[in-house]
């Protein structure tokens, strides 16, 4: 699951794990070729699959920072408190966000603003198959000063 970590940190972690898995797969594959061991061949294929998973873990991260900025540009949204993304499959990302709403909005304005935001983001980023926006309390002024 992707969360609001920095894109550079996330990308670095993915590439480190990918490089490690590919090195292991190369060593296992070489040993399998030299020994003819079916167990080593199976382990090689398993490690290659793990490397593929590393790439899939990064896919949602590409959208997290851009989506956070996009959501915070909405007039009704004061801040994004939590934003997580999960890769569902080819070209499908699920996103859940806790959003602090602007002060003074009625319940109807909150509902309308969130519905409009979901529709707009769906058109702009069709890869986001599901977008769950949960309105949460804005922080107290004292908490923002800390």
Going from N- to C-terminal start, the domains of the chain cover 7-58, 62-145
For 94-132, b/e burial (b = at least 16 CB within 10 A) is bbebbbbbbeebeeeebeebbeebeeebeeebebbeebe
Q: Are 28 and 44 in contact (CB under 8 A)?
A: yes
Quote the CA–CA distance of 50 and 76 in Å, as a whole number.
41
3-state secondary structure of 91: coil
Q: Which CATH number fits domain 62-145: 3.40.50.300, 3.40.1120.10, 3.30.420.280, 3.30.70.1350?
A: 3.30.70.1350
> Tokens 């609001």 — which residue?
4
* % residues pLDDT > 70 (the chain): 82
Instruction: For residue 110, give the nearest of 134, 139, 81 by alpha carbon.
Output: 134
pLDDT of the residue at 140: 66
Least confident of 55-59, 116-120, 137-141: 55-59
How far apart, in whole angstroms, are the C-alpha atoms of residue 99 and residue 30? 51
pLDDT digits (tens, 9 = 90+) for 115-130: 999 999 989 888 888 8
Return the SS3 of 92. Answer: strand
């Amino acid at each position: 699951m992707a969360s609001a970590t920095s894109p550079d940190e996330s990308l670095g972690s993915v590439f480190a794990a990918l490089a490690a898995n590919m090195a292991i797969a190369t060593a296992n594959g070489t040993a399998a070729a030299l020994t003819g061991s079916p167990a080593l061949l199976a382990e090689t294929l398993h490690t290659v699959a793990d490397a593929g998973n590393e790439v899939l873990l990064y896919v949602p991260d590409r959208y997290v920072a851009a989506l956070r900025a996009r959501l915070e540009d909405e007039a009704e949204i004061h801040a994004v408190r939590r934003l997580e993304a999960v890769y569902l499959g080819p070209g499908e990302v699920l996103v859940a966000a806790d959003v602090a709403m602007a002060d003074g909005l009625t319940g109807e304005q909150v509902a309308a603003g969130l519905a409009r935001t979901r529709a707009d983001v769906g058109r702009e980023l069709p890869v986001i198959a599901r977008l769950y926006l949960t309105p949460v309390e804005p922080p107290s002024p004292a908490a923002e000063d800390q």
